[in-house]
Each structure stands twice: as C-alpha cells, then as structure tokens.
Amino acid sequence: TDRPRVLSGIQPTSGSFHLGNYLGAVRQWVALQDSHDAYYMVVDLHAITVEQDPATLRANTRASVAQLLGMGLDPERCTLFVQSHVPEHAQLGWVMNCMAGFGEAARMTQFKDKSAKQGSDRTTVGLFTYPILQVADILLYQADQVPVGEDQRQHVELTRDLAERFNHRYGPQPTFTVPSPYILKETAKVFDLQDPTAKMSKSASSAKGLVNLLDEPRVSAKKFRSAVTDTGTVVSFDEKEKPGVSNLLGIYSAISGRSVAELVEHFEGKMYGALKTELADAFSEWVAPIQERTQAYLDDPAALDEVLARGAEKARSVASETLATVYDRIGF
C-alpha cells in the first residue's frame, strides 16, 4: 500500500470510554482507516505504569477492544491489536531506553505533571520511561504519522530525535522512518457537563459530568438534562460567555452531523431545556448501535479472540521485521 501509515494507542484504564475519547480521538481513527494504513492498539503495557488489579485490567482491555469495534474500527480496514500481544514493544522499548538521555527523558512535561501529582514514592520508573516506550511503539511500525492531541506533541518530537539518533549511529542505511505528528483538531474537545470550563475526563470529572459510552441511555439522558449552563435563555454558540451551551451544541453537532449554525437556528425562540432534551434523545439514538455492536463482541469472546489473534499476527509481522533489523545493526 502507498497510503501513509499511522499508529495510535489508547489506554484500557476504565470499563467504558467517554464521549471525549470518541470525539477527540476514536472518531478520527475511524476516518483514517480508509485514507491511511492504520495500526491501532490498546496499550496495556502503558496501563501498568500505575498499579492495576489483574482481573480488572484484563476485563477493561477486552472491553476497550469491543468498544473500539463498536465505535467503527473495522479489522478488515485497519490493524487492531493489544500491545502486550506483541512482545517486540517491550524489546524495542529497552533498546530505545538505551538511546535516550536521562536529562532528555526528565524534560518530558507529561511525566513531570503526572509524577508531581503522584509523589515520588508512588511514581514508577515505568512512568518515567513511558514516553520512550511510546517511541518504540511508533518506530516498530515505521509509522509516517502519529495522530495525537496537542499534549502528546513533545513525545512525537522525542520519537523523531531518537529515530534520527539511531539512524545516524547505526547508519548509513536508515533503520527507522522519522514520523510527523498528525495533530487532532482542537474543535473536537468535549467539556465536563457539570464544569464546562474543564475537559471531560475519566479521572477528573464527576460522575454527573462524564458521559460514558456504555452508560444506560436513561443515565446519560439524565446527565444531559442536568448539564450546567448559565442564567441566559438564548441558545447561541459563545465558548467564553456560554461554555455549557456551546459544549452541548458542539456535542450535538458532532453526533448529528448538523452544523452548529443550523442547530442555533433550529433552537431560535426555544430555551436551554429544549436543547438539553433534544440532545439527550439524539445521544440515546446515536449511542444505541455502538452499544449493540460492543455488546455483541462482549457476548462472543471467541469472536473477540479471533479479532485479537489476527490483529496481533498482522502487527507482529511488521514489528518483528523492524526488530530484527535493529538487533542486527546493534550487534546482537
């Protein structure tokens, strides 16, 4: 294939993805399946940088894959796999650890933020080297582009630096493709329904502010109906003055395919309550087939195993070739 290759991953850190994960990431993954040679993985190796209960991790990893399939990833059009099923990630991860400088790794702002929150006794060495495992994740597949949010740009820069360093040190033939970031649109940002100035987040949002894709429809309908707005009445898009209403309009637009302008016109002369109620209904209708497809995979473990086995096999055929070249050039 001459389509550019993309690689992206998502953590299996809860039983359900939320609306922000879909609109901010997975929706774009689905779109890239046809224009790109796409590799997508559930990054369970990254998940254990913080302590995980084994049974929960196993269940969440499978539920994550089922949801990705439910949201529209198609194993016929992309390579979908679980990171730990491809041992080359850990193997190349070690090699890249030995390419990175300690100071270079210590400058990663995500590490600094996360470790500051956890405190140094609870921060694992794995969290410190997590960006370097990401480097290996990307380079194993010779990815041309890496779809990431703005917050991950520094890790793609690190990937480029280490790829160039390796290529130079073990040249003259280049070993790795030097990838570029494919920054996902900021417009896809979803905000907390109870605090619309903060992003919707599984760790930071309250239960009422977080819309899980696997929530029962009546539960999410209630969350939309009790979303925090402002004291005004006119439905219009103004992220500064009306963050709550703007968030609801953005979500409604994304799931319905109708433009924000069209929605604003539709709600002319109606109040916020109408927006909330219609969005609650539209969301229930939109999420129903996603939930059905997800449930079908959860009810058929053999079918899910089959998808995972095929994905791992496809991924390994590429990853093992890269690793063999790397080992050879290093002198193993």
Q: Comparing C-alpha atoms, which of 170, 166, 180 is closest to residue 138? A: 180
* From candidates 114, 202, 310, 329, binder to ligand ADP by CB under 6 A: 202
Q: By CB under 6 A, is residue 199 in contact with ligand ADP? A: yes
Stretch that binds ligand ADP, among 201-209, 237-245, 257-265, 269-277 (CB under 6 A): 201-209
Among 117, 185, 199, 242, the one annotated catalytic: 199
* From candidates 100, 139, 190, 298, binder to ligand ADP by CB under 6 A: 190
3-state helix vs strand vs coil in the chain, percent to 5: 60, 10, 35
- Give the angle 54-287-12 at the CA atoms, nearest 5°: 20
Stretch that binds ligand ADP, among 102-110, 169-177, 186-194, 230-238 (CB under 6 A): 186-194
* From candidates 7, 11, 279, 304, binder to ligand ADP by CB under 6 A: 11
For β-strands 145-148 and 180-183, DSSP reports them as parallel
Q: By CB under 6 A, is residue 27 in contact with ligand ADP? A: no
Provide, rounded to whole angstroms, the least separation between the CB of residue 119 and ligand ADP.
19
* Catalytic (active site) residue 270: no
Helical H segments across 5-140, by residue range: 19-21, 27-35, 44-47, 54-70, 88-97, 102-106, 109-118, 125-140
Site for ligand ADP in 260-299 (CB under 6 A): none
Residue 279's CB is within 10 A of a number of other CB atoms, namely 23
DSSP state of 323: H
Residue 286's CB is within 10 A of a number of other CB atoms, namely 15
Q: By CB under 6 A, is residue 15 in contact with ligand ADP? A: no
Provide, rounded to whole angstroms, the least separation between the CB of residue 29 and ligand ADP.
9
* From candidates 5, 7, 9, 20, binder to ligand ADP by CB under 6 A: 20
Active site residues: 114, 199, 202
